[in-house]
Structure formats: structure tokens, C-alpha cells
Structure 1
Amino acid sequence: MASGSRGLFGSQAGENVARAGAAELVGTFVLVLAGGATSVAAATTNPSVYDLFTIVAAFGLALTALVAGLGHVSGCHLNPAVTVGLAVTHRFPWRAVPVYVLAQLAGAVLASLATWAVHSGSGPSVVRASATVPAPGVSSGRAFFIEALITFVLVLVIIAVATDDRAPAAAAPLAVGAALAVCIFIAAPLTGGAVNPARAFGPAVVSGTFSGLWLYLLAPLVGGVVAAVCYDKLLAPAHAPEQAPAE
């Protein structure tokens, strides 16, 4: 991909990589803080003031706002699975991948530290309430499949609405935020619904919850790459059937 080519949401992929990386750090920080702090509040208040719907809404609404606000700056990937998937299909320059991924991971760690600070008076273990781990009875293989599957759905929607000129640009933020919400609804009772290696990495590092972390880092990458290739090779060239002209 040549420098300056079109990235997600009309951003210029490869231009001002350092500044774009800063936007990725800030965006991932806000996303993980929104969902993570809400998750901790739901787990630590008695009686609980939040439920699963509120947590899902926090993640979905945060991503909607961030795509609208930062999409034109960095492409608003906020997820290594998105970044790697785009790079594999030549929609994003490989030279910028390390900057984006490191920024996303750093933003998630800072967000988890901020969550700890918000709930001051508790040790860093309080952040464990926002960490993603397989539910009892869910094997690592099953959790891997679930995380790969939901990330496939999310990345497919992102690439479809953010890189294809046929999709209405105004609908992109809402579509992406809704896709994330649906994915978390599907997986939350089983895996916590990370859908994002950075979102899993931050709380794990701060709380010391490393059980199953490898699958939350790897499975979304697999799902994201498969989604990107599927859209690039199969769906992007497709057109709806047209009515044959009347004779």
C-alpha cells in the first residue's frame, strides 16, 4: 500500500504514523476505560448499580463516539486484530503495524491503571473484575473459537463500512459500535467478550490475571485476518443481482 492511500473512515494510511499512533493510544485508552471502569463498578457496588446491558452499552457507545471523533485521524483501529487484518490484505502498511499495536496495548494498560485510580482504596486486584477469563466449564479450545468468531464478525463489519465507498459513511460509527455490542452480548457469559487483544491485555497486566491470556491475544488475530481476507477476496467484488431489462 502506498503512503497516503485511503485507510479506514477516510484516514490516510501511513501518513504521520507517530501522530496516528498517539490517536490510537488515546482512543484505546478511552474504549478500555469506558468498558473496564463500568465492569468494575458493576462488580464492586452492593447492590450492583449496573448489569451486563450497561457494560455492553458502555463499550458500544464508546466505540461509536471514538469512530466518529478519531476515524479520520488514525482510522480508529483500537484493536490489533483490525490492524493486522488490514495489513494482511494490503489495506494498511506493515511498517506502521508495530506503532499501532504498541500504542493500542499501552492505551489499554493506562486505561486499566486509570480504572484502579478511579476505584481508589482498593488494590490493583480490583481491576480483575474487568479482566476476561473463560467461564467455568468453558475449555480453552471453545473459548478460542468464540473469541475468533466474534472478532470475525466485528472486523468484517468494520472493513465493510469503513473501506468500501458503496457503504454510507454516516452510518459507519453506529454500525461499528453496534457490531461490538452484539459481539460482547454473544460472548460475555462464556469468555467475557474481549474481541480485542488490547482490551484483554490491559486488565490482565494491571491485575495480574494471566489465566488464558494467550487465547485472548491470538484468537482475535485469527478471526480478524480471516474476516479481512473474506471481505477482500469474496465480498468486496460482489454486486447485488440486477433486474434484466425488459424486452
Structure 2
Amino acid sequence: MVKIAVGTLGDSFSVAAFKAYTAEFIATLLFVFAGVGSAIAYGALTKDAALDPAGLVAVAVAHAFALFVGVSVAANISGGHLNPAVTFGLAIGGNITILTAILYWVHQLLGSMVACFLLKFVTNAPTVPIHGLASGVGIFEGIVFEIVATFGLVYTVYATAADPKKGSLGIIAPIAIGFIVGANILAAGPFSGGSMNPARSFGPAIVSGDFTNYWIYWVGPLIGGGLAGLIYGDVFIGSYAPVPTSENYP
């Protein structure tokens, strides 16, 4: 059964919890700064030409590297989520309480927003590139792309970081998580944008003021992350006791 827990104010507003929120803010800021920054840099180098295969690979690699680092630096403090969909998927499996998850979301979104404002300031870019559907890709197809890609991401998080039986896999968790995001950007980038992360899409949308189809990058990732939490957390870790308040994922 799903192990969702609401949580208490004492747990969610403790000193340790605020350290975790700060870690999520900083790590998400670093990830989005590098990821969005790579897209801005590509536009500057090519005078805003359409993204070509080489540019797609460069952006995917930048996101993979940045996420690897972001997860690594935050893992021992907050669990290294950097993504509301990851947080949601882990909440479904009982690895984080709902109240704490909401506060994670707030700090992840703030980190993304600050990163994009900083990028706009330091690059003097006229706009910050947002996630959007490619020509010929419908809303339903875009949502499915985001569901499948985010499912792969959150499933990987569970298998390598959140599973109590992970063993030595926990050591390579940040690498595996970065790799799956880079691979999914290569697959989904030309179609849905390959967000997999509502926070990653939030900052650019806020700074650019363009929320066209922005809701897709909440609906798709949350469904994908929730399904991964249900399947891995309920089917594979279903016999485990509910996670206590003090865990790898607060």
C-alpha cells in the first residue's frame, strides 16, 4: 500500500529541515544555472539558430553533468531531489512527508527562479529559453513524453538511492541519475523539450513571462514521478515499514 504521510510542523520546521530546504535551493540553483545557461550559450554562439544535433548533445551533457553535481552536493543533507517530480514520487513511497515535500517544492522553485534571473542579468540575454512543444507535437504527445521520461528518472532515483537494498549502488546514484536525465533530453528534447522537472521549467517561464503550455511540465512529470513511486515504492519496497521522520530523504 502507498505510505503517504502528512507529517508534523515540528519535523518540517526543524533546524535539520531548514538545512535541507537550503540545500535544495542551492543545488537546484546550480543545476538550473548550468542547464539553462548551456541553452543560452548555444543561442549566443549560433546567433539564436535552431537547435541542431550538436547543440542538443551539448545541452543534454550540460544537464547531465550539472544534475550529477547537484545531487552529489545535496545528497547528504536533503537527499538531492532538485525536482518537484522526484519529491512527489518519493512522497508517494513514504520517503518524505507531504508537508516537508511542499516546502521542498517552494525552495526548488525559488532556486530555479533565482538562477534564471541571474542568467538574464549576467548574459544580457533578451529572453531565457523556455520548454515548449515542437511543431507537430500535440499536447497529449507532449504529456506522454514527459510522463515516460520522468518515470525513468524517478524509477532510477528509487533503484539507486531510495531502495534500502541498494547496497553499493548508492555510491553511483548521482551518476545514474545524471545519465538518465541526459539520455531523456536527447530522446525527448526535440519533441517536448525533455523537462522532467517542473522547477527546471518554472524559472525560465517566470523570467520570460511566457507560460505557453507550461502546465504540461507539471502534469506530465508529476504523473510520471507518481507512477514510479507507486510501482517501485509499493511493488518492490512494499513489504518495508513506513519510513521514519529521520531518513536519507527528510
For this structure pair, what is the TM-score category when the shorter chain's length is used for normalisation?
A: 0.7 to 0.9
Larger RCO, structure (CA 8 Å, separation 6 or more): 2
CA deviation after TM superposition for structure 1 residue 84, in Å: 1.2
* Residue from 105, 110, 117 that aligns with 2:109: 105
CA deviation after TM superposition for structure 1 residue 46, in Å: 3.2
Q: How far, CA to CA, are the matches of 1:195 and 1:44 in structure 2?
A: 25
Determine the structure 1 residue equivalent to 2:28. Answer: 28
CA deviation after TM superposition for structure 1 residue 236, in Å: 3.6
Contact 1:201 1:217 (8 Å CA) reproduced: no
CA deviation after TM superposition for structure 1 residue 2, in Å: 10
**Matched residues, percent identical?**
32
- Alignment RMSD (CA, Å): 2.1
Determine the structure 1 residue equivalent to 2:85. Answer: 81
What residue ranges of structure 1 are gaps of 5+ in the alignment?
A: 4-13, 239-247
Instruction: In structure 2, give the amino acid aligned to 1:17.
Output: A
Q: How far, CA to CA, are the matches of 1:132 and 1:194 in structure 2?
A: 7
Q: How far, CA to CA, are the matches of 2:123 and 2:111 in structure 1?
A: 18
Instruction: In structure 2, give the amino acid aligned to 1:57.
Output: V
- SS class of match (2:150): helix
Determine the structure 2 residue equivalent to 1:7. Answer: none
CA deviation after TM superposition for structure 1 residue 210, in Å: 0.8
Q: Is 2:44 aligned against 1:39?
A: no
Determine the structure 2 residue equivalent to 1:205. Answer: 206
Q: How far, CA to CA, are the matches of 1:71 and 1:204 in structure 2?
A: 27
Instruction: In structure 1, give the amino acid aligned to 2:139.
Output: S
Report the TM-score when normalising by structure 1.
0.85
Contact 2:117 2:207 (8 Å CA) reproduced: yes
- SS class of match (2:215): helix
**In terms of mean alpha carbon deviation, does 43-52 or 83-92 score higher?**
43-52
Report the TM-score when normalising by structure 2.
0.84
Q: How far, CA to CA, are the matches of 1:88 and 1:234 in structure 2?
A: 12
**In terms of mean alpha carbon deviation, does 95-104 or 228-237 score higher?**
228-237
What residue ranges of structure 2 are gaps of 5+ in the alignment?
A: 8-13, 240-250
Contact 1:17 1:99 (8 Å CA) reproduced: no
- SS class of match (2:77): helix
CA deviation after TM superposition for structure 1 residue 237, in Å: 6.1
CA deviation after TM superposition for structure 1 residue 88, in Å: 1.7
Determine the structure 1 residue equivalent to 2:175. Answer: 174
- SS class of match (2:46): coil
Q: How far, CA to CA, are the matches of 1:98 and 1:175 in structure 2?
A: 26
Larger radius of gyration: 1
Determine the structure 1 residue equivalent to 2:56. Answer: 52
